[in-house]
Amino acid sequence: MGNKTIYLDHAATTYVKPEVFDAMKPYFCEYFGNASSIYSIGRESKKAVEEAREKVAKAIGAQPREIYFTGSGSEADNWALKGIAAAYKKKGNHIITSVIEHPAILNTCKYLEGEGFEITYLPVDEDGLVSLEDVRNSIKDSTILISIMFANNEIGTIQPIQEIGAIAREKGVLFHTDAVQAVGNIPIDVEKLNVDLLSLSGHKFYGPKGIGALYIKKGVKIASLIHGGQQERGKRASTENIPNIVGLGKAIELATENMEKYNKKLIDLREKTIEGLMAKVPYIKLNGHRTQRLPGNVNFSFQFIEGESLLLMLDMKGICGSSGSACSSGSLDPSHVLLAIGLSHEIAHGSLRLSFGDENTEEDVEFILEEIPKIVSRLRDMSPLYEAVKNKQKV
């Protein structure tokens, strides 16, 4: 007891920043009006929603009318895929994605396969990158959509989004990107990147959970996922979640203002951690691209140990990390992302993701660089496989 908590799981979720919470507060008890109502507290709500929409649009280089609020990042992903599939099914039934997408994309693709759509799952190389040649070669007459994530939630690899977008545009195919890990962490301009649809989520950049948005480029047709009233210009029904929308707007505004400073800090913490662990711990492998990766992402595989045991021992020291992703750690299957970059089941099981955030410090890094090597060697001392390797070396 008495340990300070060092939270290193910002890729799973973040805390809500006090400024964000303060901005949200008046919209619970005071300005609770329905944004569709005529009276003044309703107008206050409507105004707050439109101001938040402008902030989201500005952060990604879009027009406010191209931003649609959703109940989460997962909903934005579902809407992009199912909505485009339904709206363009007369044109074709083929969708291209990658094997390392978030389950919100992969399981939606599985669903669409059951509805008669054909999905191509592009492989990735050992760094987690899709090949532009593969993207180009897999496009056919029936292709209606390419959906490739901006940055991977487990290994942090950032895809060549602008280049993929350029290929899609040249071929007349729509391009969606799940940018849930990227927004708020790296600069994004949908116009420059040739993106037609983009998903984002508030709780990955110090906003509240249960709010996301889908950018839909002007002119792109999309079927609705939620039918009902005329909210979100008739495209996404349900009474607006005003506090969460306001929180999303505030969070994205703060993230954009502080991007440069924040990036530099995270990269510094990431690099110190990567270099420190490589120097101190033998038999480890860095997963994901060495440089083309999210500023705060570190992902290592440790030979001869179980990721789950490592996490439990880290937890005893107050360190919160993740093995693979939050979404897969409920199951015993190794991460589909780690398998896709070529790791064996055994190595994939001994993986650790640390994702840095705003409140982390150099002292946090020093502490984990003390603790992780100790924990790893303690766990390895219990491993018969490691024993065998050590004995071989002595000879």
Tell me the catalytic residues.
327
Q: Give the shortest CB-380-to-ligand PLP separation in angstroms.
A: 31
Angle between helix 362-381 and helix 259-280 axes, rounded to 10 deg: 30
One of 201, 297, 299, 301 touching ligand PLP (CB under 6 A): 201
Least CB distance to ligand PLP at residue 72 (A): 4
- 181 touches ligand PLP by CB under 6 A: yes
**292 a known binding residue?**
no
Output the smallest distance, CB 248 to ligand PLP, in A: 11
Ordered DSSP codes for 128-185:
SPPPHHHHHHH--TTEEEEE--SB-TTT-BBP-HHHHHHHHHHHT-EEEEE-TTTTTT
Q: Kindly state the smallest distance separating residue 291's Cβ from ligand PLP, in Å.
A: 20
Q: How many residues bind ligand PLP (CB under 6 A)?
A: 15
- The nearer residue to ligand PLP, 168 or 183, going by C-beta atoms, is 183
Q: Considering beta carbons, is residue 161 or 379 the nearer one to ligand PLP?
A: 161
Q: Give the residues across from 158 on adjacent strands.
A: 151
Three-state secondary-structure class, residue 248: helix
Is 291 assigned to a binding site? Answer: no
Contact yes or no for 121/112 (Cβ under 8 A)? no
Cα–Cα distance, 35 to 41 (Å, whole number): 8
Sign of CA dihedral 327, 151, 193, 186: positive
Q: Does 102 engage in binding with ligand PLP (CB under 6 A)?
A: yes
Binding pattern for the stretch 204-223 against ligand PLP, x by CB under 6 A and - elsewhere: x-------x-----------
Helices (H), 216-258: 242-257
- 173: tokens are 């195919």
Residue 157's beta-bridge partner residues?
293
Binding string, 79-98, against ligand PLP, x = CB under 6 A? --------------------
Show Cβ contacts of residue 339 under 8 Å, excluding neighbours closer than 6 positions.
345, 348
Looking at the Cβ atoms of 250 and 380, the one nearer to ligand PLP is: 250
Quick one: which segment of 68-76, 138-146, 186-194, 331-339 binds ligand PLP (CB under 6 A)?
A: 68-76
- Contact partners, residue 357, CB within 8 Å, separation at least 6: 7, 8, 10, 14, 266, 296
The yes or no reply on residue 74 touching ligand PLP (CB under 6 A) is yes
Output the smallest distance, CB 84 to ligand PLP, in A: 17
Q: Are 83 and 236 in contact (CB under 8 A)?
A: no
**Mask 112-141, x = binds ligand PLP (CB under 6 A)?**
------------------------------
Cα 90 to its chain centre, rounded Å, is 31
355 touching ligand PLP, by CB under 6 A? no
Window of 14-22, 72-80, 216-224, 381-389 that interacts with ligand PLP by CB under 6 A: 72-80
Long-range contacts of 257-266 (CB under 8 A, 24+ apart): 259/186, 259/187, 262/185, 262/295, 262/358, 263/185, 263/186, 263/295, 266/185, 266/295, 266/296, 266/356, 266/357
User: For ligand PLP, which residue of 6, 35, 44, 72 counts as binding (CB under 6 A)?
Assistant: 72
* Closest CB 216 distance from ligand PLP, rounded Å: 17
Q: Is 181 assigned a ligand-binding role in the annotation?
A: yes
- Asked whether position 159 contacts ligand PLP by CB under 6 A, the answer is no
Task: With beta carbons less than 8 A apart as the criterion, state whether 357 and 278 touch.
Answer: no
Residue type, 341: I
Q: Write the burial class of residue 3 (CB in 10 Å: 0-12 exposed, 13-18 middle, 19+ buried).
A: exposed
The residue among 46 and 176 lying less far from ligand PLP, judged by its C-beta, is 176
Binding annotation for [2Fe-2S] cluster: 327
Contacting positions for ligand PLP (CB under 6 A): 72-74, 77, 102, 104, 149, 153, 178, 180-181, 201, 203-204, 212
Binding annotation for pyridoxal 5'-phosphate: 73-74, 153, 181, 201-203, 239
